[in-house]
Structure 1
Amino acid sequence: MPFIVKSRHQPPESLRKRFANALIIDVTSRGSEPWVRFSPMYPHGGIPVPFSPGYFSTTVEGIWQGLKVFESIGVDAAKMLITDMKGIKRSTRKYGKVLGHRAGLTGEQLLPYDKARRQIYLPSYRWVLENCLLDLLNELEQLGTGKTVVLLDYETNCDLDNLSRPLSHAGLIKLYLEGNWPT
Structure 2
Amino acid sequence: MPIEVASKRRKVQRPDAVVIDVTSRGPDPWVRFSPFYPHGDIPVPLSPGVTSASVEGLWQALKVFENADVDPSKLGVTSMKGLKRTVRRFGPVRGHRAGLASDRLLDYRTARQEIYSPAYRWVLENRLRDELARLHELAESSDVVLLDYTTNGDVEDLRTPLSHAALIAEHLRRPLRI
- Residue type of the partner of 1:66? A
Q: Secondary structure at the match of 1:145?
A: helix
Q: Secondary structure at the match of 1:44?
A: coil
Query: What RMSD over aligned residues (CA atoms) do the two structures have, in Å?
Result: 1.0
CA distance in 2, matches of 1:146, 1:84: 35
TM-score, reference length from structure 2? 0.96
- Residue type of the partner of 2:18? L
CA distance in 1, matches of 2:88, 2:154: 26
Tell me the equivalent position of 2:33: 38
Superposed counterparts of 1:45-84, under 5 Å: 45-84=40-79
Stretches (4+) displaced over 2 A: none
- Residue type of the partner of 1:10? R
In structure 1, the gaps of 5 or more residues are none
Q: Secondary structure at the match of 1:61?
A: helix
Q: In the alignment, does 2:139 pair up with 1:132? A: no
- Residue type of the partner of 1:120? I
TM-score, reference length from structure 1? 0.94
Superposed counterparts of 1:103-142, under 5 Å: 103-142=98-137
Q: In the alignment, does 2:160 pair up with 1:165? A: yes
Tell me the equivalent position of 1:10: 10
- Residue type of the partner of 2:114? Q
1:160 CA drift (Å): 1.2
CA distance in 1, matches of 2:133, 2:70: 36
- Residue type of the partner of 1:168? S
In structure 2, the gaps of 5 or more residues are none
- Residue type of the partner of 2:80? M
Tell me the equivalent position of 1:176: 171
Q: In the alignment, does 2:157 pair up with 1:149? A: no
Percent identical pairs in the alignment equals 55
